[in-house]
Copies of this chain bind each other. A is one copy, B any other.
């Protein structure tokens, strides 16, 4: 098992939410222990991890102790402070690497990176003030959408512009944060590819899933997606291109708009992705285990699917439907969160719809 991190080793995970929780469970299946680093008290991942450190990302002692206690470090979210990464990186390998984080932490850098690879994105322009925004609107037009360059997720930090009249309000919504104006993409539907790359450069992709959003949050992912064979191939090839360009190790989520002119990359996430949760009940090796296999240097699963699946997110008080859902034979995945606040991801359900192919 040369270059493979051995069972019994400890995997450090930055972030104790549901993704950290499901990574932790997958790691345990392969015989690894996990250590969660999370500023918030009682994180969902803590309930299934061997060890939890509750500390902030500016607590250098806690970060150093955490890094020293693990064999490799990964993360469930991309907005980790740079200073914390600098410290951790000096003690243990961080996978996926800093480069992937740097690209995906900033929408402007990410779009430039994708365009440089020859991949299509929405038209975009940097916006730091009203003058930039006026110029960007003149260039890109409306409808368009203004987004903060950093720290956005699930539709937060975004403002739509129906016309140039919305400029002042949209800019106010950004609260002074460096932003990006993105042109409107006339797409028929959205799909995502969950792809992985191992330490040896090996690449594996799951078949794309088709995503439907509700109130800016992923509602369902259906596999297989409605795609032509050519689009399916394109989706896999472009995901592999991104992985190789980043010398990536781990699972990456790529959201794609399907348009008559081809696939347009919406965004990439350097981690396991909500739209890949279907793999838990559709594949022998799911995205969480695939990510763990990649970061510990093990051979990857080939992305093979045994069943077709519809994944549905349980948001806020959707969890009140659990008694009914439990009667349907669907696979239930709850995250151990105590408060079902509106908009909060509380769990998801995977319904097997039939054998693959």
By a beta-carbon cutoff of 8 Å, the part of chain A in contact with chain B is: 1, 4, 7-8, 21, 24-25, 28-33, 46-50, 281, 284-285, 293, 298-299, 301-302, 304, 306-307, 319, 322-323, 326-327, 329-336, 338, 347, 350, 352, 355
Nearest neighbor of A350 in chain B, beta-carbon distance: B284
A-B contact pairs, 12 of them (CB 8 A): A1-B322, A1-B323, A25-B25, A25-B48, A30-B332, A32-B336, A33-B47, A284-B330, A293-B326, A298-B323, A302-B329, A306-B355
In the bound complex, do residue B285 and residue A28 qualify as a contact, i.e. CB atoms below 8 Å apart? Answer: no
Give the contacting residue for A284; candidates B284, B304, B352; CB below 8 A.
Answer: B352
Give the contacting residue for A4; candidates B46, B302, B323, B347; CB below 8 A.
Answer: B323
Top 10 nearest A-B pairs by Cβ distance? A31-B334, A355-B355, A284-B331, A47-B50, A299-B327, A299-B326, A1-B323, A28-B48, A48-B48, A306-B307
Question: Interface centre among A281, A302, A322, by most B CB within 10 Å?
Answer: A322
Give the contacting residue for A7; candidates B50, B327, B334, B355; CB below 8 A.
Answer: B334
Give the contacting residue for A31; candidates B50, B323, B336, B350; CB below 8 A.
Answer: B336
Residues of B contacting A319 in the complex (Cβ-Cβ under 8 angstroms): 7
A45 to chain B, nearest CB (A): 10
Nearest neighbor of A357 in chain B, beta-carbon distance: B355
Beyond the given A30-B334, A293-B326, please list 4 additional residue pairs across the A-B interface where CB-CB is below 8 A.
A7-B334, A31-B335, A32-B336, A284-B329
Give the contacting residue for A28; candidates B47, B304, B329, B352; CB below 8 A.
Answer: B47
Please report the C-alpha to C-alpha distance between residue A200 and residue B219 in the assembled complex, in whole angstroms.
33
Give the contacting residue for A326; candidates B47, B298, B350; CB below 8 A.
Answer: B298
In the bound complex, do residue A8 and residue B338 qualify as a contact, i.e. CB atoms below 8 Å apart? Answer: yes
Nearest neighbor of A10 in chain B, beta-carbon distance: B47
Known: A4-B323, A284-B281, A285-B331. A306 touches B352 (CB 8 A): yes
